[in-house]
Amino acid sequence: MGVVETLTDRNADFAATRFTEGLRMMPNLKTIVIGCVDPRVDPASVLGAEPGDIAAIRNVGGRVTRRTLEELVMLRQVTRAAGGDLGPGWELIVLQHTHCGITLLQDRPELLTPYFATDEAGLAGQAIGDPRAAVAHDVAELHAETRLEGVRVSGLLYDVATGEVETVVAP
Ligand SMILES: [Zn+2]
């Protein structure tokens, strides 16, 4: 059996036994996590979130890039269209992790500059090889985004060796 068949089989089991009816479009905890695509760091899993608790935006590194900011601004428009507002009362959590694959590219500026929409001088500030500094940098980027004013921002670092999260920047 192929992978897709395996997964659709598992879905049948999910729908029959674990599906939660009546979940709302907006996350119960009014929380959006920005995390890495790495399968070891599924935000809902490592933070113990229940279905519907949090929304997640995942990219390589769990980084706050220009594209991430555009996603968040679009999400704010969606929440407004749904009768709410992604503003005061909401949380943005940057969740990055140790041994992230993006660090394998830290000596490849030609690959990193388009991703971060910066030049080689600007890459130093992205702190590719220093996960705590990268979290702090990205939290600052969110704080500086005027289109997300009023949202609380924090930064966590997940250790893939222990499963533990460290608060690098408190809300
Ligand atoms: Zn990663």
From 57-66, 116-125, 136-145, the region with the lowest mean pLDDT: 116-125
Query: What does the pLDDT look like over 150-160, one tens digit per residue?
Result: 999 999 999 99
In this structure, CATH architecture of domain 25-169: 3-Layer(aba) Sandwich (3.40)
Per the CB < 8 A criterion, the answer to whether 142 and 92 are in contact is: yes
**Coil/strand/helix, residue 50:** coil
CA of 112 to the centre of ligand 1 (A): 14
CA of 131 to the centre of ligand 1 (A): 10
Closest to 132 (Cα-Cα) out of 171, 92, 165, 90: 165
Cβ < 5 A residues, ion ligand 1: 36, 38, 100
Query: What does the pLDDT look like over 66-105, one tens digit per residue?
Result: 999 999 999 999 999 999 999 999 999 999 999 999 999 9
CA distance 38 to 51: 20
Q: What percent of the chain has pLDDT over 90?
A: 99
Mean pLDDT score of the chain, rounded to an integer? 96
The yes-or-no verdict on residue 48 having pLDDT over 90 is yes
CA of 96 to the centre of ligand 1 (A): 7
Domain boundaries, the chain: 25-169
Beta-strand pair 152-158/91-97: parallel
Residues 28-39: what's their mean pLDDT? 98
Confidence of residue 1 (pLDDT cuts 50, 70, 90): confident
CA of 147 to the centre of ligand 1 (A): 27
166, containing H or E segment: strand 165-169
Query: What does the pLDDT look like over 123-146, one tens digit per residue?
Result: 999 999 999 999 999 999 999 999
Check residue 72 and report its DSSP letter.
H
CA of 58 to the centre of ligand 1 (A): 10
Per the CB < 8 A criterion, the answer to whether 86 and 151 are in contact is: yes
CA of 41 to the centre of ligand 1 (A): 8
